[in-house]
Structure 1
């Protein structure tokens, strides 16, 4: 039996590519938004302190890195069979499973350190968070509700930002969590349309594979309509200013634009809808919250 090929030590860029580190921009702005809104709500100022901000950043970035690296390891065999993903770092031999697991372990240690610094509740919830982070790639092997699992997992970032400041769950934390759940469910369904044929042929569960592309896009649209309604509910719950609601209106426009990019007969722009539109939505959320808390602090 031939020996397994030895993979050279990957560069930092290769490891960043492995976990698509630039996609951290999806969840991290919502974590910051939760942190800033909680600070405004309970401290009368939108700034929670440099220490809290840094630990929240480390917790969220390391959690996502661990989740993505584990996802790539667990799905390596599936990725190798899928023409769209065969060039990913593990199937292409750029990163070994052992090297990726090392990245997972280091990331989880950093996440644990940050959780410890952010208070007892964050540390207590960490094991449950790890189950959701690592469990996602397994869900699509047995249920088309995998998108909901991902939404719950990513939504914890927004709630986590709030809890890092208050040390408890409040209505604002729950509403922010629901916002991200609804948003992520919709965008992950759109993303899954790109693998519709492969998923059906290989028994991978997803909403498009289960119901078809056209119904899946309608479900995604309903999910994003709910996202917009929940964004408004967050503003009402925290007593946000006009500037927050203006940003929410802009986010509603971005979601509408996202759905105009894709249709059952043309999915060529699905990747743009997934990454570009949602990147701008997350940044708009953060920008709106920053302006809102500054306005309320200074007036």
Structure 2
């Protein structure tokens, strides 16, 4: 029983380390991509291995990021409570976790098709390299979005094994969306980034201009979501989901207050999880009720 409790505790720690609940950012768009690629529900095999690949890649990337940012997390009062600065999880444990998850990712990619297998090492390099971009460029937010955008693009490849135009539009939407709310989140660390030499849009452009850039990115995101209405020949249910998402984005941009961590988590994380699930629900309803 003691061993079981220890395993459960470690599992919980690793889940918190990689912020497992944040899978809701990329997963809904990956599902939409798979559904559109298949013209309906993909086979159970494709769904299973795609989800395994998505979760494993994300877990590995987030854990690697925690290793790469350890000294900054330890120095920042906002992040000093995280597992690795407090030595709740040791670097060697996290390295093993990273290796295991990337091995699972490559296995899952190989179970899908040759294209996914060949691209899997490229994906690992991309998602791990994000961890270092904040050291030299304020475009780090867009690069983060770019790496997460690999989820819906990869999901399309998993179903078809071929390149296409639509998944790259979905990927661009994800990139702009993630970058927009990551900029909001980064407004909490303007002074810390300046003191340590880290780069971010808020550090370079200041608080107000950073929020303007964030709103612009989300505006382009909405325009692309509307473009998909015509490209995919979608119906009123999809448009309803987009309208609700626009309203949620407006709320997100109106509650920002860096001095309130609760508000910042709501704006940067909680509302965006609702946005992605809203888009998923109404897109699937449109696909299967009106399609």
Calculate the TM-score normalised by the size of structure 2.
0.94
Structure 2 equivalent of residue 18 of structure 1 = 17
- Tell me how far apart the structure 2 counterparts of residues 261 and 142 of structure 1 sit (CA, whole Å): 30
1:114 aligns with 2:113: no
CA RMSD across the alignment: 1.6
Paired residue total: 285
The 8 Å contact of residues 258 and 264 in structure 2, kept in 1 or not, is answered as no
Query: Displacement, 1:169?
Result: 2.0
Query: Displacement, 1:296?
Result: 3.8
1:123 aligns with 2:117: yes
1:257 aligns with 2:251: yes
Query: Displacement, 1:235?
Result: 2.2
The 8 Å contact of residues 217 and 263 in structure 1, kept in 2 or not, is answered as no
For the residue of structure 2 that corresponds to 1:88, the secondary structure is: coil
- Tell me how far apart the structure 2 counterparts of residues 292 and 168 of structure 1 sit (CA, whole Å): 25
The 8 Å contact of residues 191 and 274 in structure 1, kept in 2 or not, is answered as yes
- Tell me how far apart the structure 2 counterparts of residues 69 and 48 of structure 1 sit (CA, whole Å): 30
Structure 1 equivalent of residue 3 of structure 2 = none
Q: How does 1:137-176 map to 2 (within 5 A)?
A: 137-176=131-170
Q: Deviations over 1:28-57 (max 9, x none)?
A: 1111111011122xxxxx101111111111
- Tell me how far apart the structure 2 counterparts of residues 261 and 157 of structure 1 sit (CA, whole Å): 29
2:84 aligned residue (58, 68, 90): 90
Could you tell me which runs of 5 or more consecutive residues in structure 2 were left unpaired when the two chains were aligned.
1-5
The 8 Å contact of residues 182 and 223 in structure 1, kept in 2 or not, is answered as yes
1:81 aligns with 2:75: yes
The 8 Å contact of residues 213 and 264 in structure 1, kept in 2 or not, is answered as no
- Tell me how far apart the structure 1 counterparts of residues 28 and 280 of structure 2 sit (CA, whole Å): 5
The 8 Å contact of residues 188 and 258 in structure 2, kept in 1 or not, is answered as no
Structure 2 equivalent of residue 188 of structure 1 = 182
The 8 Å contact of residues 214 and 264 in structure 1, kept in 2 or not, is answered as no
Structure 2 equivalent of residue 38 of structure 1 = 37
For the residue of structure 2 that corresponds to 1:137, the secondary structure is: helix
For the residue of structure 2 that corresponds to 1:141, the secondary structure is: coil
For the residue of structure 1 that corresponds to 2:229, the secondary structure is: helix
Q: Deviations over 1:170-217 (max 9, x none)?
A: 121111011001101101101111111111111110000111111000
Structure 1 equivalent of residue 198 of structure 2 = 204
Q: How does 1:250-289 map to 2 (within 5 A)?
A: 250-262=244-256, 269-289=263-283
The 8 Å contact of residues 155 and 177 in structure 1, kept in 2 or not, is answered as yes
The 8 Å contact of residues 180 and 213 in structure 2, kept in 1 or not, is answered as yes
| Structure with greater contact order relative to length (CA < 8 Å, sep ≥ 6) | 1
- Tell me how far apart the structure 2 counterparts of residues 263 and 22 of structure 1 sit (CA, whole Å): 23
Q: Deviations over 1:85-142 (max 9, x none)?
A: 0111111010011100100001001100111112121112111111111111100001
Query: Displacement, 1:268?
Result: 5.9
For the residue of structure 2 that corresponds to 1:91, the secondary structure is: coil
- Tell me how far apart the structure 1 counterparts of residues 91 and 25 of structure 2 sit (CA, whole Å): 26
Query: Displacement, 1:266?
Result: 7.0
Structure 1 equivalent of residue 26 of structure 2 = 27
The 8 Å contact of residues 193 and 267 in structure 1, kept in 2 or not, is answered as no
- Tell me how far apart the structure 1 counterparts of residues 156 and 284 of structure 2 sit (CA, whole Å): 15
The 8 Å contact of residues 18 and 88 in structure 1, kept in 2 or not, is answered as yes
Query: Displacement, 1:267?
Result: 7.2
- TM-aligned CA distance change 1:165 to 1:183, over 3 Å: same
Could you tell me which runs of 5 or more consecutive residues in structure 1 were left unpaired when the two chains were aligned.
1-7, 41-45
- Tell me how far apart the structure 1 counterparts of residues 92 and 223 of structure 2 sit (CA, whole Å): 44
Structure 2 equivalent of residue 60 of structure 1 = 54
For the residue of structure 1 that corresponds to 2:199, the secondary structure is: coil
